[in-house]
Amino acid sequence: MTNHDSEQGGQAVPRLDALAHFMGVFESLGVLVLLVALVCAASIIAPGFSTYTNITNTIIMASITAAAGLGMTFAIAVGGFDLSVGSVQALTAIVAASLLGVASVPIAIIAALLTGLVLGLLNGVIITKLKIPAFVVTFGMMSIVRGVALLVTQGQSVMITKHPDFATLNNGKVLGVPVPFIIVLIVLAALYLILHHTPFGRHTCAIGGNRAAAIASGINVDRVTILVFGLVGVTAAISGVMLSSQLMIVDGTLGTGLELQAIAISVLGGTSLSGGNGNLVGTLLAAVLLATIASALNILKVAAFYQYLFVGVLLIFALSIDTVRRIILAKVMLRRI
Amino acid sequence: MEPILKLAGISKQFPGVRALDNVDFVLYPGEVHALMGENGAGKSTLINIISGLLPHSSGKIYLSGREVSFGKSSEAQKAGISTISQEFNLVPGLTVAENIFLGREPTGRGGLLNWPEIKRRAGQILSELGFKVPENRRVEYLSVGDRQLVEIAKALSLEFRIIMMDEPTAALSGTEAGRLFEIVRKLKLRNIAVLYVSHRLGEVFRIADRVTVLRDGRTVDTRPLAEVSEDDVVTMMLGRALKREAAVHTAPAPAEKPALAVTELGVSGFLSNVSFSIRFGEVMGCAGLVGSGRYELTQALFGLLPISHGHIEVNGKAASLRSPIEAIRRGIYMLPEDRKVEGILPDLTVLENVVISARDTGPATSRFLISAADEGKQYESVRASLDIRATSPAQGITKLSGGNQQKVMIGRALVSNSRILLLNEPTRGVDIKTKLEIHSAIRRLAGQGYAVMVSSSDVPELVSVSDRCLVLSAGRTARLLSKEQINEDNITALAIGTRISKNLND
Amino acid sequence: MNETRTNLQKSAGLPDVNVLDFLTKYFIQSLLVVAALGLGAVNPYFRTATNAENVLLQASFSGIGAAGMTLLIVSGAFDLSVAGLLGLCGVILAKLAPDIGVTLAIVAALVTGFVLGLVNGVVVTKLQIPPFIATLGMMNIYVALAFIASAGQVIPASDVTFQFLGTGTLFGVLPVPFVVMILIYVICRGILSRTKLGRYLRAVGSNEIAARTAGIPVDRVRIIAFGIVGGCTALAATFLTAELSSANAIMATGYELTVIAVVVIGGTSLKGGKGALFGSFAGALFFAMISNALNIFGVGAYWQYVVTGLFLISALAVQALRSSFQTAE
């Protein structure tokens, strides 16, 4: 890499930096613009889309996915992935639902969150101590946890009957805003603070950006990684609790494909797959985008498997944009002389 | 004066090899102490032990008289030892300030980052180094020289007492190297000890007070530089006196068509308006500082970089070289700069590494199936011609020494049947004996009719092997030197020439 | 390198084969033999010919897929879309068979699998998306296409040829799919060790940048490797459809996990550059055997998920520990 301007005593190219700022803003705004456009289109094409009920349902759908997606963004920032979030969502939903049959709501929720935390930490420990790549470990865990979820329920469903008010976690509204969305906003705020304003968050980005540099700086890479995966587990559990509140009846098959959605919204939201950064706000916006499209397709009575097809195509599309972004940045870096 | 660092009887045992054997070493505050030795002599191991990255097997380390033992690098850092390495330990996505304080970020209330403090302290250090970039610039937008300054700023902020630099000028321009030497002098004045590891005799004699030479894991001697000559140091490194052979060779018979003709070549961002031609049978040197576009020139000629302007002609015919495959088909082959990253295929055998670029000419079956007999012959001829030391063709390539690996890479070029060779840093990371062998191999190849371009940062090497020499500066041709004009001073002056006049015009 | 030779070996006049080295190199094969003997000793049904045939049959589904996957992993990539690809090829096979005959339908399915594999390869190389994410997305697409093609139904495949392929035997005791599996492994072994493609696969997996600089057509090599996986998957789909006498979109859920677990436990390194085809072969047998044992012992199907995941992680752990011992040299 050459940079002739800077050989005059440390002036980096100002054009480049302005462009970088522009692109950062564009990434967040890009999703926002796309979202607004889609919402408008949906309102026109799909009758009944812009009703209050439908919009709140869409936002609730988005919140459940977004919770898992925000955690996944953190995982991508540290340079890994967690393919087990779907299975963890299912298991934690089962834990919550089962405990609601014998204990109070707070205890059930805490138990579910702890389950997610423990599973996440376990992922982290296997990844760091056995030095196995994250995606393969979580790939294996995905299967193990799924198996456990099915075993524990023996393939049956678990109904939440003793605490019907549990559903307010899903249906309740504060000042017209659905509770799940508020939960997600709180999670977003907390994660944003952690990622951008704590040493832990900076270390996370360092590990994902240049692992060797992180090690050389004395960062305890193992500890940070384990904690990050623990965090991912917790967010997956939050997603599981919200899902159980929505459905009020859970089983071991929930959450299949959640990991794909979580990755898709992270990438679409502007988080680069190469690690080292995380666009949390973008992830939430992308979750809403995804839910909007799903909602519109539902209203238009498009069959479920077309939606499945759509998520796959969307992911490939989002990833291509990421690639294009990287290539453009590299090309701009070169435009001198 | 009390030494700030003392190593007594340090040994380091790896399974099967004793990297360091009973090394004694003393470092005083305020001295610049050079550490020299061939590759494999143990320099990097010693540095890694001092910086806490490796534990020593036996012996003692004393820091300011107190015995210490570092379990990991952060402990060494806390004790006041800092290291600047060849691979930059910076995170591209974080800012300059975040990189400087990585791992030791100042925090305020509730454990949150204390941004005003970070900004203040970073600004302080950067201005002391004469660094004009704002501290919130992301490192991925900085040049190589600037990134190194950030590394040094990071070390300064640690308030170290010992700083170790491992080949710090390897990727720097002349100006940046000069800037570095200034900073080293400032460090001396602050009574900080500098341990300076380098292959470059010129630099060492310019900046260091004493030199310690390692050979085969043992200390040969430690001498003040005022008392030794360059030849003395080389003798210590090799264990015998060096026989310098004058590069005698006959001028090539003028060929009708040039092998390679480059006209007004432009590569967006790196090169502009470069023109030259190489004849079969001649060695064209290519000189230039980092950033001059040297490597990018060979990459463009090998199809690894797109050309934005100009023509290339191979054997008199126009050529469009859009990939290495096309280049090889036209008879051009490139030796990459960094064999570890771009050259060696670690899981393959020595033989496979040599024959991998063989062209698929001949009957259809040989294009798909491997012919062990043919490959055996190809390998053997290369092995004999370059004297590659391997226990067998089936040996894993990673088991070979750096010098032999480099020979394998050159052998790969020969097997590709290309008559035009672009050799980048052909003797980087290679011991002195192999270096000379490679130089004579290059001259031999020219004698056999190959057209060779040698692009190198090692100016004496260029003087030794080139028939003509292209000097690049800031992406443009500074001059194309003829045989009589090739000498170290001319090359160095031309390589930095453009920028000097630019500075004068400010 | 360990140099331990037990005194027992020396006194028995046995050749200078280091036991520890042998066990490490042929780990899965040894495990397979031990498991087979152990299970056979413990459960009489396990020893019957019918059961053995069944194990060989079950092994061939994942085994055929694992052959191609081994080559792909050697080149440094993965394909997580094989479950969807299998379903899609099976559905296409079952739907076309009544119209154009079984043989032609099989050809069509194989071509589809190969072509879609190439598509995977193009997405990974030309769009420069990391393989496992790209194929994760493609998986969704293939499953969805399979649903659409089958309208969510189960498509019957009851032709007599299918019966032969699914339940017939050659040489008396060997199920047809198993014989084909052996053939596939021989072919893949030939590709890997005797062709330039095989060497290029190893080179690309070993150091992609160096491979490109050496003039290897990296993208083309990668795409072909994905195509091979697609073809193998389609072949597995043929046999599975034949065995089930039907095809549906989700008939192979979890296939990618099993296949990758088989390859990993077989000893092939995920980093690429080295391949252990014989290991994958043994791994497929091993998994089928364990699965079979779980069934015989009346353990629920849900345990399969747990067991497969555990084996995958354990095998990776063993690999990681082994390579950390080696790099300490």
B210-219 pLDDT, tens digit per residue, is 999 988 888 8
Contact criterion met (CB below 8 Å) for C95 and C150? yes
| Residue C294 sits at the chain A interface (C-beta within 8 Å) | no
Torsion of CA A52, A53, A56, A59, to 10 degrees: -110
C190 Cβ contact list (under 8 Å, min separation 6): none
What CA–CA distances, in Å, run from B14 to B17, B57, B347, C320, C322? 5, 9, 22, 20, 17
* pLDDT grade for A213, boundaries at 50, 70 and 90: confident
Please give, rounded to a whole number of angstroms, the shortest distance from the CA of C120 to a CA of chain A.
11
Q: What is the pLDDT of residue B110?
A: 81
Say yes or no: B204 and B314 in one domain: no
- pLDDT reading at C329 higher than 70: no
Cα of C323 vs its chain's centroid, Å: 23
Out of C79-88, C137-146, C292-301, least confident range: C292-301
| Residue A18 sits at the chain B interface (C-beta within 8 Å) | no
Candidates B335, B347, B415, partner chain C, best to mutate (most C CBs within 10 A): B347
Q: Comparing C91 with B231, which gets the higher pLDDT?
A: C91
Beta-carbon separation of C209 and B344 below 8 A = no
| Residue B212 sits at the chain C interface (C-beta within 8 Å) | no
Q: Which chain B residues are closer than 8 Å to A20 by Cβ? A: 138, 141
Please give, rounded to a whole number of angstroms, the shortest distance from the CA of C69 to a CA of chain B.
19
Beta-carbon separation of B15 and C199 below 8 A = no
Tokens, residue C311: 């084996």
Q: Comparing A36 with A185, which gets the higher pLDDT?
A: A185
Q: What is the pLDDT of residue C126?
A: 93
Candidates A136, A96, A142, A150; CA nearest to A119 is A142
Q: How many domains does chain B have?
A: 3
Q: What is the pLDDT of residue A15?
A: 57
Size of interface A-B (CB pairs under 8 A): 137
Q: What is the pLDDT of residue B130?
A: 74
What CA–CA distances, in Å, run from B57 to A331, B39, B50, B201? 48, 21, 13, 31
For range A166-170, the mean pLDDT:
86
d(CA A237, CA A119) in angstroms, rounded, equals: 10
Residue B254 is assigned to a structural domain of this protein: no
Residue B91 backbone dihedrals phi, psi, to 5 degrees:
-95, 115
Candidates C262, C203, C329, C188; CA nearest to C32 is C262
Beta-carbon separation of B347 and C211 below 8 A = no
- Out of B125, B159, B193, a domain closes at B159
Tokens, residue B477: 């041709």
Q: What is the pLDDT of residue B504?
A: 25
Q: Which amino acid would we find at residue C34?
A: V
Q: Comparing B78 with A84, which gets the higher pLDDT?
A: A84
Pairing of strands B332-335, B420-424: parallel
Candidates C69, C133, C58, C82; CA nearest to C265 is C69
Residue in A130, A145, A309 nearest the CB of C317: A130
- Out of B133, B159, B185, a domain closes at B159
A17-28 pLDDT, tens digit per residue, is 566 666 666 666
Q: Report B:296-315 residues touching A (Cβ under 8 A).
A: 296
Contact criterion met (CB below 8 Å) for C185 and C281? yes
Residue B255 is assigned to a structural domain of this protein: no
Q: Comparing B176 with A118, which gets the higher pLDDT?
A: A118
Contact criterion met (CB below 8 Å) for A169 and A179? yes
- Out of B214, B242, B270, a domain closes at B242
Please give, rounded to a whole number of angstroms, the shortest distance from the CA of C154 to a CA of chain A.
15
What CA–CA distances, in Å, run from A227 to A143, A239, B135, C316? 22, 18, 29, 22
Tokens, residue B3: 């030494």
In percent, the amount of chain B with pLDDT more than 90 equals: 28
Tokens, residue A64: 């459940």
Residue B247 is assigned to a structural domain of this protein: no
- pLDDT reading at A337 higher than 70: no
CATH of the domain at B485: 3.40.50.300
Q: Which amino acid would we find at residue C24?
A: T
Candidates B44, B87, B50, B84; CA nearest to B69 is B50
Range list of β-strands (E), chain A: 158-159, 173-174, 177-178, 249-250
* pLDDT grade for A194, boundaries at 50, 70 and 90: very high
Out of B31-35, B82-86, B88-92, least confident range: B82-86
Print the SS3 string covering B56-82: CCEEEEEECCEEECCCCHHHHHHCCEE
Q: Report B:349-388 residues touching C (Cβ under 8 A).
A: 352, 356-357, 360, 367-370
Q: What is the pLDDT of residue B241?
A: 57
What's the mean per-residue pLDDT of chain B? 83
Residue B140 DSSP symbol: G
Q: Among A161-165, B46-50, B439-443, B495-499, name the most confident range.
A: B439-443
d(CA C149, CA C87) in angstroms, rounded, equals: 10
Candidates A197, A201, A333; CA nearest to A277 is A201
In percent, the amount of chain C with pLDDT more than 70 equals: 92
Contact criterion met (CB below 8 Å) for B99 and B112? no
Three-state SS for B220?
A: strand
Q: What is the pLDDT of residue B215?
A: 84
Candidates C81, C90, C60, C217; CA nearest to C142 is C81
Candidates B70, B141, B294, partner chain A, best to mutate (most A CBs within 10 A): B141
What's the mean per-residue pLDDT of chain C? 88
Q: Which chain C residues are closer than 8 Å to B301 by Cβ? A: none
- pLDDT reading at C154 higher than 50: yes
Residue B252 is assigned to a structural domain of this protein: no
In percent, the amount of chain C with pLDDT more than 90 equals: 59
For range A252-264, the mean pLDDT:
90
Say yes or no: B112 and B197 in one domain: no
Q: Report A:248-307 residues touching B (Cβ under 8 A).
A: 276-277
DSSP bridge partners of B68: B61
**CATH T-level assignment (fold) for domain A48-334:** ABC transporter involved in vitamin B12 uptake, BtuC (1.10.3470)
Pairing of strands B162-166, B193-197: parallel
DSSP bridge partners of B221: B213
B334-391 pLDDT, tens digit per residue, is 999 988 889 999 999 999 999 999 876 666 666 788 888 889 999 999 999 888 988 8
* pLDDT grade for B501, boundaries at 50, 70 and 90: very low
In percent, the amount of chain B with pLDDT more than 70 equals: 88
Say yes or no: B344 and B226 in one domain: no
CA dihedral (C239, C240, C243, C246) positive or negative: negative
Beta-carbon separation of A214 and B113 below 8 A = no
- pLDDT reading at A44 higher than 70: yes
* pLDDT grade for A6, boundaries at 50, 70 and 90: very low
Contact criterion met (CB below 8 Å) for B349 and B437? no
For range C244-257, the mean pLDDT:
91
Three-state SS for B83?
A: strand
Residue in B90, B94, B149 nearest the CB of A202: B94
**What is the ipTM score, two decimals?**
0.84
* pLDDT grade for B474, boundaries at 50, 70 and 90: confident
- pLDDT reading at A336 higher than 80: no
d(CA B70, CA B67) in angstroms, rounded, equals: 10
d(CA B36, CA B58) in angstroms, rounded, equals: 22
Q: Which chain A residues are closer than 8 Å to B176 by Cβ? A: 7
For range C25-45, the mean pLDDT:
84
What's the mean per-residue pLDDT of chain A? 86
Q: What is the pLDDT of residue A9?
A: 35
Q: What is the pLDDT of residue B16?
A: 62
Say yes or no: B393 and B286 in one domain: yes
Contact criterion met (CB below 8 Å) for B313 and B486? no
Residue B192 is assigned to a structural domain of this protein: yes
Range of the domain at B488: 260-505
Say yes or no: B180 and B211 in one domain: yes
Contact criterion met (CB below 8 Å) for B452 and B442? yes
- Given a contact as 3+ CB pairs under 8 Å, which chains touch A? B, C
Residue in A6, A193, A205 nearest the CB of B143: A6
For range B326-338, the mean pLDDT:
92
Out of A73-77, A85-89, A209-213, C77-81, least confident range: A209-213
For range A236-248, the mean pLDDT:
94
Say yes or no: B173 and B216 in one domain: yes
Out of A261-270, C14-23, C222-231, least confident range: C14-23
> What pTM did the predictor assign?
0.81
B250-303 pLDDT, tens digit per residue, is 445 455 678 999 999 998 767 889 999 999 999 999 998 766 788 999 999 999
d(CA B455, CA B469) in angstroms, rounded, equals: 9
Q: What is the pLDDT of residue A119?
A: 97
| Residue A16 sits at the chain B interface (C-beta within 8 Å) | yes
Contact criterion met (CB below 8 Å) for A107 and A258? no
C171-213 pLDDT, tens digit per residue, is 878 899 999 999 999 999 999 999 999 999 999 999 999 999 9
A126-144 pLDDT, tens digit per residue, is 999 988 889 899 999 999 9
Residue B365 backbone dihedrals phi, psi, to 5 degrees:
-60, -35
